[in-house]
Structure 1
Amino acid sequence: MTNGFAQTDARLPAYARLRDTLSGRIARGEWTPDQPIPSEARLAGEFDVSVGTVRKAVDGLVGEGLLERRQGSGTYVRAPSFNATLFRFFPMRESDGSPLSIPQSRMLDRTLTRATGEAAQALGEIEVIKITRLRSLSDQPVLFEEIYISRDRFDGFQDLPESAFGPLLYPLYFERFGLLVKRATDEVSFGRASDAVAGQLQVPQGDPLAIIRRTAFDIEDRPVEWRIASGSAKGFRYVSEIK
């Protein structure tokens, strides 16, 4: 190491090497969204660089969505902010027309299993944990999800108490396992409801479904999760803005 930097290409400028070093700390969970990261002056002293170099490195991480600046408070690791993104395909509202809050989630099962087909290809692993969830808006089932995560990277997930789970999984991935979801890709297709899925969504068997396949990636661009979410095609909407 030089100046405390991680093993990075020595030909890179100092701010780029520092940016990569700081992103490694984020990946290892050394900083959390609850507390500000060290000040620019403190980081400058630790790495023996100028405050301007630190600021440029931090600016890069803010631009990449890994850090966020909070006015009057400091700079923080940005918590996973995917909240209800799958629900942009199912834009439902409360009876008074106001936007719905984060959807409710009910964990149906957590199983150690072997991945097959699409899940294995997406994750590059066979030994996985399979999660099944039902997500609802105003007590109305909207999405049935089958989620696959690495057994090694999420060791102990299957033994977590029910109280550990809130409506969102990505914050749990970060807080419990140090895995920060940076980005995700969604692929949309259509199909028909099997008997099992129809029962969960409370729709007739064979009803048309919108099917969303998502692969989520960490800050090192390694796949963290693959899921397939199914919802009634009757409420499906897709909007794309082209400029």
Structure 2
Amino acid sequence: MPAPISGNAAEPSLDTGLSATPAFSPLYQQIKGLILQRLQAGEWKPGELIPSEIELAARFRVSQGTVRKAVDELAGENLLVRRQGKGTFVATHTEQHVRYRFLKLVPDDGDLIREGPAQRAFLECKRTRASAEIARALGLRSGDAVMQVRRVLSFAADGGAQTPTILEDLWLPGGPFKGLTAERMAGFRGPTYALFETEFGVRMVRAEEKIRAVLPDADQAGILQVAPATPLLSVERVAYTYNDTPMELRRGLYRTDTHHYRNDLS
């Protein structure tokens, strides 16, 4: 049994994604870091039940209340999911309420159910070498192997024909995503991050985005079936797995004639 954790001990070495403290951290934050270490190590996999708060309190030799506060924060960050009467589970991108939490483009009428899932067309999926810019975003060295994917997402606005709405370019580290193909992505019945999680063992836990208005080039305008003078929303995202390790660079161009970008702030 591990020695009890001191209430003013130094924070665990795992980067939990919170701002660093000068020397100490609250006890529940230390427990949160230790739980994150277990998640990162794969001790509890996506969709699996984690030990109860009583069991975790005994393991870490702290109070149940301290564990509960740590678990509450992890649940608030969509890393864990509480289920009444069943326990706490590792969150997974296959769950309905979180599967599209990184996609913020919604139809103007707000009816996601009527619109239905996107139709995906993969234009390219190849193994290539990272440019200096791509390598910097993914924490790699220039020239390292990456997977590059280009795809179009189309939606049926108002129940009509499918309209190309999002053009995306993705870059992924070559090592963790060895074996990724367009056929494998197209054949997966679910969101892309669920594919990464279930077939490659990479769980995206948070993302950072930069958004600006741009004009498409001729190639982009042709793919999205818009005039070259049509303003589009450019969304650049870096998605991270545990320990703030970058695992995806994604650049998307969004049409906003029938959709808008919505973000809930709290």
Question: TM-score per shorter chain, which class?
Answer: 0.7 to 0.9
- Structure 2 runs not aligned, ≥5 long: 6-10, 14-22, 157-161
Query: Within the alignment, does 1:213 sit opposite 2:213 as a pair?
Result: no
Q: Distance in 2 between matches of 1:86 and 1:141?
A: 16
Q: Please name the residue that 2:84 is paired with.
A: 71
Query: Within the alignment, does 1:150 sit opposite 2:168 as a pair?
Result: no
The alignment's TM-score, normalised by the length of structure 1, stands at 0.79
Q: Select the residue among 225, 231, 239 that pairs with 2:254.
A: 231
Q: Please name the residue that 1:8 is paired with.
A: 12
Q: Which amino acid aligns with 1:83?
A: Y
Q: Secondary structure at the match of 2:135?
A: helix
Q: Secondary structure at the match of 1:161?
A: helix
Q: Distance in 2 between matches of 1:130 and 1:34?
A: 28
Distance 1:30 1:4, change over 3 A: farther
- Does the aligned pair in 2 maintain the 1:112–1:158 contact within 8 Å? no
Distance 1:97 1:131, change over 3 A: closer
Residue 147 of structure 1 and its aligned partner are, at CA, apart by 0.4
Percent identical among aligned pairs is 33
Residue 39 of structure 1 and its aligned partner are, at CA, apart by 1.7
Residue 12 of structure 1 and its aligned partner are, at CA, apart by 5.3
Query: Within the alignment, does 1:111 sit opposite 2:126 as a pair?
Result: yes
Q: Please name the residue that 1:122 is paired with.
A: 137
- Does the aligned pair in 1 maintain the 2:81–2:90 contact within 8 Å? yes
Q: Please name the residue that 1:37 is paired with.
A: 50
Distance 1:75 1:128, change over 3 A: same
Q: Secondary structure at the match of 1:46?
A: helix
What is the alpha-carbon root mean square deviation over aligned residues? Answer: 3.5
- Does the aligned pair in 1 maintain the 2:171–2:248 contact within 8 Å? yes
Q: Distance in 1 between matches of 2:186 and 2:265?
A: 43
- Does the aligned pair in 2 maintain the 1:115–1:128 contact within 8 Å? yes
Q: Distance in 2 between matches of 1:115 and 1:20?
A: 32
Q: Please name the residue that 2:73 is paired with.
A: 60
Deviations 1:105-125 (A, max 9, x none): 233321111222543332132
Q: Distance in 1 between matches of 2:40 and 2:122?
A: 27
Distance 1:159 1:43, change over 3 A: farther
Q: Which amino acid aligns with 1:218?
A: T
Residue 214 of structure 1 and its aligned partner are, at CA, apart by 1.2
Residue 69 of structure 1 and its aligned partner are, at CA, apart by 0.9
Residue 79 of structure 1 and its aligned partner are, at CA, apart by 2.3
Residue 209 of structure 1 and its aligned partner are, at CA, apart by 2.5
Q: Distance in 2 between matches of 1:98 and 1:178?
A: 29
Residue 191 of structure 1 and its aligned partner are, at CA, apart by 2.8
Distance 1:112 1:102, change over 3 A: same
The alignment's TM-score, normalised by the length of structure 2, stands at 0.73
Matches within 5 A, 1:175-194: 175-194=198-217
Residue 137 of structure 1 and its aligned partner are, at CA, apart by 0.8
Q: Distance in 1 between matches of 2:265 and 2:62?
A: 42
Deviations 1:9-36 (A, max 9, x none): 6965654333212111222333234232
Query: Within the alignment, does 1:136 sit opposite 2:154 as a pair?
Result: yes
Deviations 1:146-176 (A, max 9, x none): 0011112323334973565334111222223
Shifted more, 232-241 versus 71-80: the winner is 232-241
Q: Please name the residue that 1:91 is paired with.
A: 107
- Does the aligned pair in 1 maintain the 2:188–2:195 contact within 8 Å? yes
Q: Distance in 2 between matches of 1:149 and 1:97?
A: 28
Residue 188 of structure 1 and its aligned partner are, at CA, apart by 1.9
Q: Which amino acid aligns with 1:110?
A: C
Q: Distance in 1 between matches of 2:265 and 2:101?
A: 23
- Does the aligned pair in 1 maintain the 2:124–2:150 contact within 8 Å? yes
Shifted more, 158-167 versus 219-228: the winner is 158-167
Q: Secondary structure at the match of 1:155?
A: coil
